[in-house]
Structure 1
Amino acid sequence: MHNAEGIDGELDRSSKTAMYIQLREILRSHIAVKLAPGAPLPSERDLSLRFGVARMTVRQAIDALVAEGVLDRVVGLGTFVSRPKLDLQMKLTSYSEEMQRRGMVPDAKVLSFEQIGASAYLARELKVDEGTPVVRFRRLLLADKEPMSVDENYIVASRVPGFTEGPPPNSLYQVLNEKYGLVMEWGEDTIEATAASPSTARLLNVEMGSPLLKIQRHAYVSKSIVDYSVSYYRADRYKLWVPLQRPGVRTPRSYSPKRFGAL
């Protein structure tokens, strides 16, 4: 745990500014200058002793920084400097390309790459008969060695003959394009909040029940569904960014989105 004695600054007890606000700004400066994302903050007890204020005052200061997104409070573990959240824009693109564009090192751990019979649920999503052979490709996606999401892709096997006979692809959409001529033209996403199951929590290195973004995607070539996927994103590492445009109004030429997501 980081030592509170190393925090510069003192409270001005003659000031009209509330003690918790002064402490909040001292902590903000300390975090910006000396602490890396994910670093722990000293305990409320240590901060209370260091600045000579009540624990309630310390809690108010920390609560304010948590509300701003500067700090994250993890039940049972403590308070930590927030990691920057990646903007998640819905688009048909490669995870590897997105992470490289951000200057992060992408990686993936293959959890399964096999052919299975479509369950009733998968048959409904892929619009095929129950029992139809389907390729299941499940991966844990990482950036800078940190788990970011669990992705499950399902493709009707007849669209990709011999797919599972070779090694798992590094970039799924690239292989579908280059080997099978399948270029995803459009897609539909369903986005909802969910809680991490025990197995997903272990993979993503989060507490069981932690909030996740669950995104279900149907990706199409022409009018045919080629890929149905379910992705579980760490809600502490992603936020959704959805550009909006009025129907019939052209986007200004000067408009250039600077923030993209990783899918």
Structure 2
Amino acid sequence: MIKRALKSFPDGIDPESGKAKHRQLEEILRRFVELHAPPGTAVPSERELSEHFQVARMTVRQAIDALVADEVLERVVGVGTFVARPKMDLQIKLTSYSEEMHRRGMVPDARVLTFEQVPASHLVARELQIDPGQPVVRFRRQLLADGEPMSVDENFIPAWHVPGMLEEEPPTSLYRVLSERYGMVIEWGEDTIEATAATASTARLLNVDLGAPLLKIQRHAYVSRSMVDYSVSYYRADRYKLWVPLQRPGIRTPRTYHPGRHQAT
């Protein structure tokens, strides 16, 4: 589709311009993507672009490299180059998934995979600081935004904190139920973030390839000094980028900052 459109695209490389050819080509492709190419659209090969614009393949590669660095394009090894889909900034906040998606103007949805009471495994017991075998509510979901899989979340809550929870329908907003029904407003938490690769089951749920990069976030959530929730979430790395605001202790932030207002890339 882009290949056909490029043939009729009015811009070309001006050999008399003082601007480097790869910069001219970068601007041409950037404008074309912004005006005509939706996310996920395949980009012609370096050879095709080289022949069309009558420039060296190194010139094409430099232009594409710049657009990849700017997250306008993305390379998929062994497949090709595509118009990138915008990544959502993953801001670490003590809000529920549904609250976060509503904030972004997206429609949240969830498919419940597991909602049951189980004895705490040694790993879960260690993370919740309880004895192995004690009852916990296990709540595992596939989370979606605008119909697209975004993450797989698994929460473990000591059962004595949430009596009767399993007698109701699975909650659409876990933190809201904990607050409104059980009076437990999550006050603070600790997150551990690491890169991982998609297993077969997770890849299937997230609609990504086996071994695709994911963000794994483990959270311990507290009410006062009592831990009430341990969760493990797997986020699609192709749809999220991590945004962590930093501030030196004792220094007041001079203004409100949002990553969307300062695009360095």
TM-score between the two structures when normalised by the length of structure 1: 0.90
Write the distance in 1 (CA, Å) between the matches of 2:98 and 2:134. Answer: 30
Give the aligned residue type for 2:86: P
Distance in 2 (CA, whole Å) between partners of 1:7 and 1:235 is: 33
Letter in 2 for 1:183: V
For residue 180 of structure 1, give the secondary structure of its aligned residue in structure 2. Answer: coil
Match of 1:110 among 112, 116, 123: 112
User: Shift in Å at residue 178 of structure 1?
Assistant: 1.3
SS at match of 1:212: strand
Q: Which runs of 5+ in 1 are unaligned?
A: none
8 Å contact from structure 1 (residues 8, 30) kept in 2: no
Equivalence for 2:190:
188
In structure 2, do the counterparts of structure 1 residues 117 and 8 end up closer, same or farther at CA, with 3 Å as the change threshold? farther
Partner amino acid for 1:213?
A: L
What's the counterpart of residue 263 of structure 2? none
Report what 1:224 is aligned to.
226
Match of 2:73 among 60, 65, 71: 71
Q: Aligned runs of 1:148-187 on 2, under 5 Å?
A: 148-187=150-189
> Could you tell me how far apart the structure 1 residues matched to 2:125 and 2:8 are?
59
The amino acid across from 1:72 in the alignment is: E
Instruction: Give me the whole-angstrom Cα distance separating, in 1, the residues matched to 2:163 and 2:64.
Output: 56
1:83 maps to 2:85 = yes
**1:242 maps to which residue?**
244
| Alignment deviations for residues 119-176 of structure 1 (CA, whole Å, 9 cap, x no partner) | 1110100111111111111111111112111111111111111212221110000111
Counterpart amino acid of residue 24 in structure 1: E
RMSD: 2.0
Change (3 A) 1:56 1:259: closer
Q: Evaluate the alpha carbon distance shift between residue 14 and residue 247 of structure 1 in structure 2; reply closer, same or farther with a 3 A threshold.
A: closer
The Cα offsets for residues 81-100 of structure 1, whole Å up to 9 and x where unpaired, read as 22222122211112212212
Contact between 2:195 and 2:215, CA under 8 Å: does it hold in 1? yes
Relative to the length of structure 2, the TM-score reads 0.89
Gaps of 5+ in 2: 261-265
- Classify the secondary structure of the residue corresponding to 1:245: coil
Offset at 1:27?
0.5
Return the letter of the residue paired with 1:38: G
Taking structure 1 as reference, are residues 51 and 259 closer, same or farther at Cα in structure 2, changes over 3 Å only?
Answer: closer
Could you tell me which amino acid in structure 2 is paired with residue 181 of structure 1? G
Q: Is the 8 A contact 2:2 2:37 kept in 1?
A: no
Partners of 1:259 and 1:153 in 2: how far apart? 29
Percent identity at matched positions? 68
* Farther off after superposition, 187-196 or 53-62: 53-62
Number of residue pairs matched? Answer: 258
1:257, CA displacement in angstroms?
A: 4.6
The one-letter amino acid paired with 2:256 is: S
- The 3 A distance-change label for structure 1 pair 7 and 32 is same
> Aligned AA for 1:93?
T
Instruction: Tell me if the contact between 2:89 and 2:240 (Cα under 8 Å) persists in the aligned partners.
Output: yes
Report Cα offsets for 1:219-242 as digits up to 9, x if no partner: 001111100011111222222222
Which of residues 199, 209, 231 in structure 1 aligns to 2:211?
209
CA distance in structure 2 between the partners assigned to 1:6 and 1:137 by the alignment: 54
Residue type of the alignment partner of 1:256: T
Using the alignment, how far apart are the partners of 1:161 and 1:19 within structure 2? 68
Query: 1:186 corresponds to which letter in structure 2?
Result: W
CA distance in structure 1 between the aligned counterparts of 2:141 and 2:9, rounded to whole angstroms: 42
Judged with a 3 Å threshold, the aligned counterparts in structure 2 of structure 1 residues 16 and 251 are, in CA distance, closer, same or farther, namely closer
Aligned to 1:57: 59
Q: Deviations over 1:67-106 (max 9, x none)?
A: 2221111123321122222122211112212212221111
SS in 2 for 1:129: coil
Secondary structure in 2 matching 1:107: strand
From the superposition, tell whether residues 6 and 127 of structure 1 become closer, same or farther in structure 2 (CA, over 3 Å). farther
